[in-house]
Amino acid sequence: MAQLKTTFAGLALNNPVIISSSGLTDSAAKIKKLEDAGAGAVVLKSVFEEQIAMQAGSMHGYGSPEANDYLGAYVRSHALNGHISLIKEVKDVCGIPVIASINCYSSNEWADFAKTLEEAGADALELNILSLQTGKDDAYGSFEQRHIDILKRIKAVVKVPVIMKLGNNLTNPVTLINQLHANGAEGVVLFNRFYQPDINTDSLSLSCSNVLSSPYELADRVRWIAIASAKVPRLAYAVSGGVNTGKDIVKAVLAGASATEVCSAVYRFGNKVIGEMKDELSRWMDEKGYETLEQFRGRVNAQALGDEVGPFERTQFMRYYGGYEE
């Protein structure tokens, strides 16, 4: 009989299905239903630095630096209070791990915010440095260094596990992942999804495209988990983006992941999809004779395939497109 228990970033999970930060996780009532449906853990809706900074900035202009500082601090405190209350409410009614999420782009005051969320009862922290490096004079490596600086400041003040959720706009994710591990990160999630812009050709304005992830996004996550888990094996990994079925979880674990973050599938199909994914995962394990996830985790990562170059690092278009003719 398949056992779905797993450990991710030091957290004991009943199964590898983590509901990622979204509107699905912004209330204790919703999260309790997710737990009842079988979720292994939840990542709470994020605290957004950009949103708080904009709100604080809108309160300025009252004639003195002291007044502006006071109002800015008030806005920050008020924004955090809702997240503190949410953590406490969820911990009161749920038994699954609760991961607080901070979406930030600077290393300024987030250590204090992280400490506050830990004290409220969060079992772990997920950090999202969700921004694009677009300045023409930006130094090479400064974007990656920002990740490390934020991690170091937060690790200095919290004891709970810290998980880094990375975007896919990195030249070499493995180099950064190795440095994050060296500076105390307990887990890495690949990858975060940026806002997807589109252009409305009728109104000549900016619009939003593809709010929900596509199943096709899974392949990129599998590639990099398979490479990173082989080269930095002592870190815990989770796949985020494109996970819609139990077989997708199988692929993630075979590549080296300990867990998966799921969001779009629940929006599309409802909470029932959690149980369906778990059932499909269990059936596959029974068919293959696996009793635990650990028995097949990383069985198809870059190291396990034992190739000097590594099939995950090649661009083998000729092999796969050779059968197509005009």
Which pLDDT value is given to residue 298?
A: 96
The band of 197, judged by pLDDT with boundaries at 50, 70 and 90, is confident
Q: How far is CA 265 from CA 24, 211, 243, in A?
A: 11, 12, 7
Contacts of 165 (CB under 8 A, 6+ apart): 101, 126, 127, 128, 188, 189, 191, 192, 240
Tell me what the pLDDT averaged over the chain comes to: 86
Distance (Å, rounded) from C-alpha 245 to C-alpha 248?
5
- Residue 132, amino acid: L
Distance (Å, rounded) from C-alpha 326 to C-alpha 324?
7
Q: Residue-wise over 147-162: b if at least 16 C-beta within 10 A, else e? A: bbebbebbbeebebbb
Q: Domains in the chain and their CATH numbers?
A: 6-321 (3.20.20.70)
Which pLDDT value is given to residue 64?
A: 43
Q: What percent of the chain is predicted at pLDDT more than 70?
A: 80
50-108 pLDDT, tens digit per residue, is 555 555 454 444 444 443 443 344 445 566 788 899 999 999 999 999 999 988 766 56
Using the predicted structure, report yes or no on whether residue 294 has a pLDDT greater than 90.
yes
Which pLDDT value is given to residue 47?
A: 78
Q: What are the φ/ψ torsions at residue 17 (nearest 5 degrees)? A: -95, 105
Pair 120, 160: CB distance under 8 Å: no
Entry field: residues in the chain? 326
292: which strand partners? 3
Using the predicted structure, report yes or no on whether residue 188 has a pLDDT greater than 50.
yes
108-162 pLDDT, tens digit per residue, is 666 778 899 999 999 999 999 866 677 788 888 888 998 999 999 999 999 999 9
Which pLDDT value is given to residue 313?
A: 61
- Residue 167, amino acid: G
Which pLDDT value is given to residue 326?
A: 54
pTM of the complete model: 0.88
199: which strand partners? 206
Which pLDDT value is given to residue 198?
A: 86
For the chain, what is the HEC assignment?
Answer: CCECCEEECCEEECCCEEECCCHHHCCHHHHHHHHHHCCCEEECCCEEHHHHHHHHHHCCCCCCHHHHHHHHHHHHHHHHHHHHHHHHHHHHHCCCCEEEEEEECCCCCHHHHHHHHHHHCCCEEEEEECCCCCCCCCCCCHHHHHHHHHHHHHHCCCCCCEEEEECCCCCCHHHHHHHHHHCCCCEEEECCCCCCEEEECCCCEEEECCCCCCHHHHHHHHHHHHHHHHHCCCCEEEEECCCCCHHHHHHHHHHCCCEEEECHHHHHHCCHHHHHHHHHHHHHHHHHCCCEHHHCCCCCCHHHHCCCCCHHHCCCHHHHHCCCCC
Neighbours of 309 (CB within 10 A): 8
Using the predicted structure, report yes or no on whether residue 250 has a pLDDT greater than 90.
yes
What's CA 248's distance to the chain center, in Å? 16
Q: How far is CA 188 from CA 118, 128, 236, 255, in A?
A: 19, 10, 6, 14
The band of 214, judged by pLDDT with boundaries at 50, 70 and 90, is confident
